[in-house]
Amino acid sequence: MRISNFNFRKVMLLIVDAVIISICGVISNFILQVLDFQTGFRSIVETPYVVVSILINVIICICCLFICGAYNKAWRYFNAKDYLSCLIGMVAGVVLSTLVLSLRYNSFNYVLPYTLISGGLSVVGVVLFRLIFKRAFIKINDAGAIDVGERTLIVGAGNAGRIILEDIFNAKQDSDNPSKSIFPVGFIDDDILKQNNVINSVRVLGQTTDIPKICEKENISLIIFAIPSCEEEERKRILDICSKTKCKIKIIPYISKLLLDEGVDGTRLLNQVKDIRIEDLLGRPPITFDKSSIKTLVEGKVCMITGGGGSIGSELVRQIAQYNPKRIVIVDIYENNAYDIQQELRLEYGDKVNLDTIIASVRDYDKMEQIFAQERPDLVWHAAAHKHVPLMETVPCEAIKNNIFGTYNVARLAQKYGVKKFVMISTDKAVNPTNVMGATKRCCEMIIQYMSQNTTGTDFVTTRFGNVLGSNGSVIPIFRRQIENGKPITVTHPDIIRYFMTIPEAVSLVLEAASMAKGGEIFVLDMGEPVKITTLAENLCRMYGKIPYKDVEIKFTGLRPGEKLFEELLMDEEGLKQTDNEKIFIGNQIHIDKDKLLHSLDELKECASENDDDEALKLLAEIVPTFNHQTNK
């Protein structure tokens, strides 16, 4: 059984106090003899009475210090309240010693001069020792002579926090354990009853609102968030406060994912502490979905994913593979991404998943028809699209060819070859679009609604969501590269906001939407509160242990062509309808004038084929009345 470092330090502190009180007793006796007071006391060598008096004084003062909590915290943690507890303990000890010695020698006046001098010196000595020793330690530590480790604040003084503290102490005994470098300075907890409590020598220093002040005062470099059962909104609030410091932040997993006991592989709680993710700051819990309905949809079916090598498409492939499909058909124009997801699935599943990977463009109707005729898909997820807003502003005809007519090609073929469900992946940028990409995706939504209103054999459905964390072109990977390369973070506007979701959430939405689709719906995910991009950039800086605007410059470059300050998820006329999943809503269908749409599409296709950007944009604005093109030039 391990002997606690804390217990050893407490005994050493107790011995030092006893020595100080004893020396003060000898000094007081010497002073009395020099001053020739008639107390009956002589030198310590000449009489045993002084030894007895010192012993009684030491025992009573040490007991009073214990009662006042002077040994509940190691000297290096001492603050003003702790010095006051020492002072109270020593004064109480001196008073009690005076009473005991008076009874012992049957004379109050006989004892009082000795106890006053001895007690006064002892009070000063005990308090002064702690103060001097702490300051000396801090100076030596700041100078680098003593390496106590990474000064750490643990947020949460509950069971998880206590176990983490125990793991930190255990790690000190293992020279190969990387956690041995962690030095726990204190706890933070909002429970009023826990304030100033001491847990295995580490004090609860304050509440979450005190974190920035405590981090600065105690020179904290690492914060461990140890409240795994915390509600998501509260988690976001606390992490936002932590992000205001210059500390690195680590977070333990949700309570359902914790291994609180040592497992067969030796896993301990401290080993499960992870770097904080930007997803933790989104302000809402992860979205849950009905996996049984998805399994019913996918199992035994031929599933085609266009754009299957992209960030959304590849995650669709991963999740669909879990539900035992008859075959997965990946269609993508970019062979590198398609090859990567193909190899990933083969490594994961081997021959258990029947997989076809086809390099083709959705713009090529004849090639796509060949694929449909050969593969005969039951379900199609259409994720292929040009999505980068600034790039599409420079080549609007390419966006029109790929997004609009690529979607039209695949949708018509899905109808022709009897696909059961067709799911088109849209974006919040399709709502009241201000850029070419958003306008083309809104036109795609109109095509899917037109197909739904004029088709009986296939359920056509649209899924719409905001920005996806970690996707190709997402701000997070860009910000990371900029920080790691020592470059300034570039944000287009200080007030720009976006809705965010994770890739798995986005794909789960797409899959569940397909399972509940009856045709023509636009499924919209409740994505919580929008997130300020500037805040994301600042928090990412702090994740790297850097101070935004000081260690890392954040430059505002101005809105790019077609970029909005904020995005919307629903057009005004669509409204909302609740589904069985409280986080998924359905926008009402908008009637599409078939003849007008088809005629406009013919004109648009001809114009795009001639690469007449100006005329193509005019026609696109006619098809999408809400398109308010903003060039931001």
Question: Looking at the annotation, which residues are catalytic?
Answer: 429
Q: What's the angle, vertex CA 320, arms to CA 447 and CA 401, rounded to 5?
A: 30
d(CA 248, CA 191): 24
Say if CB 384 and CB 406 are below 8 A apart: yes
d(CA 528, CA 526): 6
d(CA 167, CA 259): 13
Residue 295's φ and ψ, nearest 5 degrees, are -60, -45
**Plot region of 560 (φ>0 → left; ψ -120 to 50 → alpha; else → beta):** beta
Q: In 3D, which of 58, 188, 88, 82 has the Cα closest to residue 133?
A: 82
Q: Strands 202-206 and 198-199: what pairing? A: antiparallel
Give me the helices (H) in 376-462, please: 389-394, 396-399, 406-416, 436-453
d(CA 219, CA 234): 25
Three-state SS at 137: helix
H/E segment holding residue 182:
strand 182-188
Q: How far from 218 is each of 79, 110, 115, 319, 356, CA to CA, in Å?
A: 11, 48, 38, 46, 59
Q: In 3D, which of 50, 56, 3 has the Cα closest to residue 31?
A: 50
**Plot region of 559 (φ>0 → left; ψ -120 to 50 → alpha; else → beta):** beta
Q: Strands 531-532 and 379-382: what pairing? A: unpaired
Contacts of 1 (CB under 8 A, 6+ apart): none
Q: What is the 3-state secondary structure (H, E, C) of 601-629?
A: HHHHHHHHHCCCHHHHHHHHHHHCCCCCC
